[in-house]
Amino acid sequence: MDVMIQPIVLQPLHNPFPTPIPPRLLSPGKILTQETTTLSLSLQMDVSLLAAALAAFGSVFFLVMILALIVFVCKFTKNRDYGRRLRRKQIRTVLNPEPSSVKADESASFDPTINRISMDELKVATKNFSTDLIIGDGSFGLVYKAALYNGSTVAIKKLDPDAFQGFREFRAEMETLGVLRHGNIVKILGYCVSGLDRVLILEFVERGSLDQWIHDTSSPNNEYLEDKFPLSWETRIKIVRGVANGLVYLHGLATPIIHRDIKASNVLLDSSFEAHITDFGLARKIDSLHSHLSTQVAGTLGYMPPEYKEGVIGATAKADVYSFGILMFEIATAERPNLPKKMEKKEMGLIEWVKKMLAQNRHMEILDRNMPKEGLSGDEVYEYFRIASLCTEEIMIDRPAMSEVVDLLNKL
């Protein structure tokens, strides 16, 4: 039996695309199968996904490269700045060597009566810096009494190793301070450097420090203190005027010098009780327009001005004026400025105590109880304390200049 085979004609599938398949694709010679169409669609989707993945990867890679570039630039800049700072530090170290790097001995004289100074001679004059010859303990070192080869009596101050930052700074300070000549300033006669040892040769002032005279302390090597007596009011006024004149001299130089540590132990008294300002270990030069800025607060507790508490650490003439005012209170009352006073069951500082007593017209009561008071004028004492109060004004610009203070003191 003959079997008739009917040809199977595939019907066109539903086209998922919006554009209809042209009829020529469905001609008998080019009949599409279902499998072929599915494969074509699958390949198109894979290509689209691959393109999207590559685009995403490219974006991420680009962002990573930008971040890496930013990190590299920042790190390079930081390293370069550190290198610059390191080079600057190395340069400063070379320009300002520490005393240990100074090998050669050096000495200088600022007085024509002393034509030679050596460390060996100074050791002989002080008996190798014997404690038996110590006459004072100033800032940055001990002070010894000594007799030089020419028979002159001098004070020898052996500085602590940290008294100055370096040898060049020390020498610059000595060249400045060594030429100061005033009747109320202790003369620096010369200096000597040998290795780590640095020594000043100073004018010897016979009666020792003002601190020893107003606070009843003594030195075993000062014969002038053996018969010490309470200073009279007239002598105290003389001392105050001497200190004021010395400060006017320092502040009035072409390049003013600010002492920065005015206090009773830094005022020496000669045989006539004339005051001599000493201990320039904290002194700083300033120009006529700007205060010398320092990285640390200088001075002694009780004498430092209130602006130091506010972070103002520049060396100014008005800071010396404040310390001088405190010294005036101390000289008249024999009260230490760093110790509290009690009034009306309340503790307070020296300035507050004095001003409260003045407000109550009790200024005669606060004078040194050991001082003779016969014939003393109450009006003069009040004016004295008024001048001291002006010097210790809280606000710096309200304080008078030292030249004005001298004029006021001369009217007492």
Name the active-site residue from 111, 162, 261, 270: 261
| Three-class DSSP category at 198 | strand
> CA 223 to CA 221: how far, in whole Å?
6
Read off φ and ψ for residue 122, nearest 5 degrees: -65, -35
Please state the residue numbers annotated as binding site for ATP: 158
Q: Residue written as tokens 């107003």? A: 214
> CA 135 to CA 138: how far, in whole Å?
10
> CA 89 to CA 91: how far, in whole Å?
5
| Three-class DSSP category at 193 | strand
Structural contact between residues 222 and 269, judged by C-beta atoms closer than 8 angstroms: no
Phi-psi category of residue 375: left, alpha or beta, with phi > 0 → left and psi -120 to 50 → alpha = left
Q: What is the DSSP track for 342-374?
A: EETTEEE-HHHHHHHHHHTT-GGGGS-TTS--T
Q: Is 111 a catalytic residue?
A: no
> CA 184 to CA 77: how far, in whole Å?
56
Active-site residues, by number, are 261
